[in-house]
Amino acid sequence: MDSPLCLVTGATGYLGGRLVPELLAAGYRVRCMARTPGKLRDHPWADRVELVRADALDPDAVRRALERVDVAYYLIHALGTGPHFADTDRESARIFAAAAEEAGVRRLVYLGGLGPAAGSAARDSSPHLRSRAEVGEILLAGAVPTAVLRAAVIIGSGSASFEILRHLTERLPVMVTPRWVTSRIQPIAVRDVLHYLVGCAALPPEVNRAFDIGGPDVLTYERMMQRYAAVAGLPRRRVLPVPMLSPRLSSLWVGLITPVPGGLARPLVESLRSEVICHEHDIVRYVPDPPGGPTGLDRALELALERIRDANVATRWSSAALPGAPSDPLPTDPDWSGGTLYEDVREGRPAATPAAVWRVIEGIGGSNGWYSWPLAWSVRGALDRIVGGVGLRRGRRDPHRLRVGDALDFWRVEEVIPGELLRLRAEMRLPGLAWLEFTVTAAGGATHYRQRALFHPRGLLGHAYWWAVFPFHGIVFGGMRRSIARAAARSR
C-alpha cells in the first residue's frame, strides 16, 4: 500500500522548501504545487517529488493539484503585495478549502501567525496578523479537518524574521528603537516548527482547531537582541526606545539596515507591536514535543548561526519571488507585443578555458561583487533600498553554486545550464523588465564569452530610463566583460 500523499504549497519559499525533505524522511510521498515549478528543479529532493503547476487563485488548477492528495499543507500568503493583500489571502484560502473538499482531501495543515487573544487587542493587531487569522478561520470553517499552527518569530538561518534580528543587532551597537522592542514574544526554532508540521499529517480526523506553538522562552524583542549579541560574541547592545517612531517609519528604518526590503519588513514590524505569546500547548496531546523538548532561544540562535557560517542555508526568505517581482518570461522576439526590447551585447575570447570562465560567472554577486565599477553597483543598490526595493544585501544562498530560483543580490536566477548559461532577472525597482545573461561556449579550440543585458521598458519613463543609463554601459557592462576574462585567466 502506498504511503499517504502530501501536497506542499509554497515549496519555493522558506518553510515549504524545508518541509519537503522532512516529509520525505518521514516516509510520505510529496507533491509540490508552484506557479513556476522550474524553480524547484535544482533542489536535491526534486527527483523524489511530483511537481505541478498551479496558481492559488486558479480554482481549476488548484483542484487538479489536489487530486488523490491525503494531506495538504497551505503555506502561501500575499505578504507585502500591497494594500489589498488581505483580499488576495481571503480569496485563495476559499478556493483552496473548496477544492480540497471536492478532491476528498483528508487533512489540511496551515501555518499562521501567533497573535493576541480574542478581544480588543486582537482587533487592534496588525493587518498581517488579522489576515493570517482570517485565513485560518476560513480553512477551519471548511468541510476538510484542518490544523492551524500559530507561531510568532521563527528562528532559523534564512528566515525574514531572523534576518531582521541578526542585522539590526550586528550593525547597530547603539540603536534608537520604537516601542515594539518592549513587546513580549515567544520565538520558536524552525526545526520545531517543522516537527509539528510533519506531526500534523497523522492527526485523527476529529481534530479541527488551531494550536499555539512556541519555544520555552518568553521575552521582549530588546532582550532577544541582547541574547543574539551574546550568542554571536558581540558586546552588549545599547537600546534607546523612542515612542514616536511609527510602524511605517520603523519598517523604513529596518529596510535600510537589513537585507529585508521595506515591503516585506513593514508587515513583520507592524506585527511586533502586539504581544505574541502562546496561550496553550494543546498540540502535545497529539504531536509529542521534539526529542529533548522544545529548542531554547540560545540553542536556536546557535544552530542558525552555524548554518550561516557553513554557507549551507538550504532555503531563505528570499527563496520566494518577492511581491511585485516580474513573472514574464524572457522575450525571444524583440518585437513581441509590438513593444521594444533594448539590448546591450558584449562578446570576447578570454584567455582561459570555458570551465575557468564558468567558475567566475557562477560565483558572481554577493561578496565577489559584479566585476565592474563597484561604486556604481553600491549606489544603485542603495537607491533601490531607498525606494523600497531589495538592494544588494540579499547576497546569495551558496558562495559557489547557483540554482534556478535563487536570489542573487537584486537579481533572481531564471535559468542555469551548468558550464554554459546563466540568466538573471532583475528584481530591483525599474520602469520595465530587465535581464542579464552570460553564455560560455568552446569553438575551434577557443573560449567564446557572450554577455547580454536586456530591458523591456514600461511606458515613456522606461524608455527615458534606458537612455539615461546608456552612456554608462561601456563602463559597467564593458568593464564586467573585461574583468570576468581577467579573473578567469588568473584562476587557470
Beta strand pairing call for 71-74 and 5-9: parallel
pLDDT of residue 333: 39
Please give the Cα distance from 277 to 111 (Å, whole number).
16
pLDDT of residue 339: 54
- Among the residue ranges 97-106, 146-155, 203-212, 243-252, the one predicted with the least confidence is 243-252
Do 66 and 212 lie in one domain? The reply is: yes
Do 157 and 261 lie in one domain? The reply is: yes
Output the DSSP codes for 328-384: PPPPSSTTGGG---EEEEEEE--SS-HHHHHHHHHT-SGGG--SS-HHHHHHHHHHH
Q: How far is CA 432 from the centre of its chain?
A: 22
pLDDT tops 60 at residue 347: yes
Q: What are phi and psi for residue 256, nearest 5 degrees?
A: -80, -30
pLDDT tops 70 at residue 337: no
Do 310 and 364 lie in one domain? The reply is: no
Please give the Cα distance from 422 to 418 (Å, whole number).
8
Which of 474, 471, 465, 467 shows the shortest CA–CA distance to 428?
Answer: 465
Mean pLDDT confidence for 142-149: 96
Please give the Cα distance from 470 to 476 (Å, whole number).
10
Residues spanned by the domain of 446: 336-490
Domain membership of residue 160 (yes or no) is yes
Domain membership of residue 324 (yes or no) is no
CATH number at residue 189: 3.40.50.720
Mean pLDDT confidence for 234-258: 69
pLDDT of residue 93: 94
Domain membership of residue 326 (yes or no) is no
Domain membership of residue 329 (yes or no) is no
Please give the Cα distance from 181 to 221 (Å, whole number).
5
Which of 407, 445, 447 shows the shortest CA–CA distance to 14?
Answer: 407
Q: What is the largest CA-CA distance in the chain?
A: 75
The C-alpha cell at 80 is 507585502
pTM of the full structure? 0.73
CATH number at residue 413: 3.30.530.20
pLDDT tops 70 at residue 254: no
- 8 A C-beta contact, residue 339 and residue 446: no
The C-alpha cell at 303 is 544552530
Mean pLDDT confidence for 406-429: 88
* Residue 146, CA atoms < 13 Å, CB-side half-sphere: 25
pLDDT of residue 204: 96
Do 355 and 456 lie in one domain? The reply is: yes
Higher confidence at residue 402 or residue 180?
Answer: 402
- Quote the mean pLDDT of the chain: 83
Q: How confident is the model at residue 106 (pLDDT cuts 50, 70, 90)?
A: very high
Do 309 and 351 lie in one domain? The reply is: no
Do 246 and 394 lie in one domain? The reply is: no
- Among the residue ranges 62-66, 98-102, 444-448, the one predicted with the least confidence is 444-448
pLDDT of residue 410: 84
pLDDT of residue 246: 60
**Which residue spans within 116-198 are E strands per DSSP?**
146-151, 154-155, 174-177, 184-185, 188-189
Domain membership of residue 31 (yes or no) is yes
Domain membership of residue 193 (yes or no) is yes
pLDDT tops 70 at residue 310: no
Mean pLDDT confidence for 345-368: 92
pLDDT of residue 262: 61
Please give the Cα distance from 10 to 15 (Å, whole number).
8
When divided into structural domains, the chain yields a total of 2
- Tens digits of per-residue pLDDT, 187-223? 999 999 999 999 999 999 999 999 999 999 999 888 9
Q: At a CB cut-off of 8 Å and minimum separation 6, what does 125 contact?
A: 115, 116, 133, 271, 274
Do 61 and 178 lie in one domain? The reply is: yes
Which of 137, 92, 95 shows the shortest CA–CA distance to 113?
Answer: 137
Do 147 and 181 lie in one domain? The reply is: yes
Percent of the chain with pLDDT over 70: 80
Do 124 and 252 lie in one domain? The reply is: yes
Do 304 and 366 lie in one domain? The reply is: no
Domain membership of residue 331 (yes or no) is no
Q: How confident is the model at residue 323 (pLDDT cuts 50, 70, 90)?
A: very low
- What are the beta bridge partners of residue 239? 175
- What are the beta bridge partners of residue 29? 5
pLDDT tops 70 at residue 492: no
Q: At a CB cut-off of 8 Å and minimum separation 6, what does 425 contact?
A: 325, 326, 330, 411, 412, 413, 414, 433, 434, 435
Domain membership of residue 330 (yes or no) is no
Q: What are phi and psi for residue 216, nearest 5 degrees?
A: -80, -10
Do 77 and 169 lie in one domain? The reply is: yes
> How far is residue 385 from each of residues 50, 257, 395, 425, measured CA to CA in Å?
37, 9, 14, 18
Do 305 and 345 lie in one domain? The reply is: no
pLDDT tops 80 at residue 351: yes
Which of 260, 266, 276 shows the shortest CA–CA distance to 224?
Answer: 276
